[in-house]
Amino acid sequence: MTCHMSCLIHRLSATAAVLLLSAACGGSSAPVVDGLPSGNPPGATAPVLTRTIVLQGLSEPWDIAFAADGSMFFTEKCRGLSVRHPDGTVTRLFGTSGSALVAPDLACLGQSGMHGVALDPAFATNRTLYVYMLSTLQTAPRTNRVVRLVVNGGYTSASNRTDIVTDIPFKDASNAVGAAGAHSGGRIRFGPDGFLYVTTGDNHNQTLPQSPTLLGGKVLRITTTGAAAPGNAPPPGFDTRIFTYGHRNVQGITFRPGTGQPFISEHGPNHSDEVTPLVNGGNGGWDPRDRPALSCPGGYCGYAGNASTMPMTDVTRFPNAMRPSWSNNGNSQGMGPAVFLVGGQWGAWNGRLAVGIMSASRFMILEIDAAGVATNVVQASLPSARYRALTLGPDGNLYVATDAGEIWRVTPTT
């Protein structure tokens, strides 16, 4: 399944078409100086992108993480965690049979399975990393977990498995609104504060997003042992691992250069995908509980209304809800991962937010002002694909995983 970098190269124009600004933006499209540390030089232009297929023939790759030496970890939803060595060979480290360390409890059902992967900030010395996975260790109901592992110096074995979060809800059975396994979230990333952020989903369960104690529909912020990060400020009575709540199915989390503020990307139902800057203790305003004005199969109203009657950010019920930077102009197009682009090699896109769209199969670049509002949204000229993972490599390039089983290297030149 390994494809050397020379096997397929497409040189693509990044000339981008300006799309409609979101109704949620309401701002001007004037350039904004947003205090990014590297700044964009006057006259910076959008980069030209060169796409190289790094791996192909994978089984639903879900996330990517790099060590500083260029070793590339990646997950496959139904197989587990592997690493691509700098010479291009691949070792299966943790997961189903054939992995160096087998996880007999790894389950794969619907949208769920092995999802996010993140390396410890001290990986170079402690060789520790983390994955998010569906586990059968708790049989009724099964749960999503965050699992900590240690990888040996040669990247050929994994050991010291410790499950640091074991109680993230999972949709164990189909119901009136969809299949089992839906809405598990699953992106994990270390923030610049050194804590691990874990995104979860609502499981098609009406009670989860606003629940103070159940961890679905949340962003967690935890230590490397799974404890609540000091400083988390959810409302009184909440599980203190909760950083923000009131989410639907958070697929991406990334940290703004210069400020460190986390931004998430989130699926909408039949409307309104959202990018949202997070505030510690904040409510994302998603509340799919039953209500008299709507007919809601199974009590889950998430699909029953529209952007007015079942908003992704319900400012009527929750006046202080965190406002999105951008919503998908009233549509849901399957918003997937997001990452801030960093470095002068990105030209005018340095500091902008890249967002992968899955069902609409496109790749978006958002310029976001100092207040967190998207002021300019363009579509990059990359091929149509279901963009599942976006990760910056230590080489300054962007790495992309697609549901078609490929991992791309996207190299910018200006």
Strands 158-169 vs 143-151: parallel, antiparallel or unpaired = antiparallel
Residue 77 or 271 with smaller CB distance to Ca ion: 271
Stretch that binds Ca ion, among 19-27, 45-53, 149-157, 311-319 (CB under 5 A): 311-319
Q: What's the CA angle centered on 190, arms 189 and 196, to 5 degrees? A: 90
Out of 58, 182, 214, 312, the residue judged to bind Ca ion by CB under 5 A: 312
Out of 185, 186, 217, 285, the residue judged to bind Ca ion by CB under 5 A: 285
Q: Is 210 in the site for Ca ion (CB under 5 A)?
A: no
Q: Where are the beta strands (DSSP E) in 113-195?
A: 114-119, 128-135, 143-151, 158-169, 188-190
Residue 200 or 397 with smaller CB distance to Ca ion: 200
Helical H runs in 119-228? 123-126
Distance between CA atoms of residues 182 and 170, nearest Å: 8
CB of 328 to Ca ion, least distance (A): 12
Q: Of all residues in this chain, which one has the CB nearest to Ca ion in the complex?
A: 313
Distance between CA atoms of residues 179 and 172, nearest Å: 9
CB of 276 to Ca ion, least distance (A): 6
Sheet architecture: strand order including 262-266: 250-255, 262-266, 274-277, 326-327
Stretch that binds Ca ion, among 193-201, 233-241, 280-288, 328-336 (CB under 5 A): 280-288
Stretch that binds Ca ion, among 40-48, 50-58, 162-170, 281-289 (CB under 5 A): 281-289
Handedness of CA 148, 153, 157, 160 (dihedral sign): negative
Q: Is 282 in the site for Ca ion (CB under 5 A)?
A: no
Give the number of residues in contact with Ca ion, rule: CB under 5 A.
4
Q: What's the CA angle centered on 381, arms 375 and 382, to 5 degrees? A: 115
CB of 274 to Ca ion, least distance (A): 5
Residue 75 or 283 with smaller CB distance to Ca ion: 283
Q: How many CB atoms lie within 10 A of CB 164?
A: 17
Residue 217 or 412 with smaller CB distance to Ca ion: 217
Out of 95, 284, 302, 334, the residue judged to bind Ca ion by CB under 5 A: 284
Task: State the residues that interact with Ca ion by CB under 5 A.
Answer: 284-285, 312-313
